[in-house]
Amino acid sequence: MEKKTAKRASGADHPEKTERKAGWQSFVDETERSLLAQKAEIVANLIAGNNDFKEVIEGMDSKDLADAASDDIDRRMIEAIGAQELKRLKLIDSALARIKQGKYGLCAKCGVRIPQERMEAIPYALMCVGCKSQEERRGP
């Protein structure tokens, strides 16, 4: 009787569970590589955007008022894009930290495993659909 209990506890009676776990780990490993690539791309874009921003500011001295207004709009667009990219970068860093902690794919609110389909669509999702919907209904 003791052998059966030990066998069950190890998961040997449920090979499909072991396969699912291996499949999930493979997905997490691939997601980690993808998130690291996205992070590198965002950092490169922010550096390039920062250089574009410097060029806009440095070139403003000799321009007339209409051009300065146009440059101000350009600068604001660059800042807005930069802010969005920074937000995405923070979400990616958070997802990478959860991978390292072994908590990736768990809802931050209820602790339930977030379906892989959702994690594929939004690899830095913090909450399951149910909890996210509740949060959105409550508003800011």
For residue range 63-76, what is the model confidence (pLDDT) as tens digits?
Answer: 454 555 556 656 66
Instruction: Quote the longest CA-to-CA distance of the chain.
Output: 89
Render pLDDT for 2-57 as a digit per residue (tens, 0 to 9). Answer: 444 444 444 455 666 676 778 899 999 999 999 999 988 888 877 776 666 556 54
Taking the whole predicted model, whether its pTM rises above 0.85 is answered as no
- Say how far apart CA 23 and CA 105 lie, in whole Å: 13
Render pLDDT for 90-128 as a digit per residue (tens, 0 to 9). Answer: 999 999 999 999 999 999 999 999 999 999 999 999 999
Q: Which residues contact 18 (CB under 8 A, 6 or more apart)?
A: 11
Q: Of 34, 12, 5, whose CA–CA distance to 104 is shortest? A: 34
Q: Of 92, 116, 90, whose CA–CA distance to 34 is shortest? A: 92
Q: If DSSP states are collapsed to H, E and C, what string results for 1-23?
A: CHHHHHHHHHCCCCHHHHHHHHH
Query: Cβ distance 56 to 48 under 8 Å?
Result: no
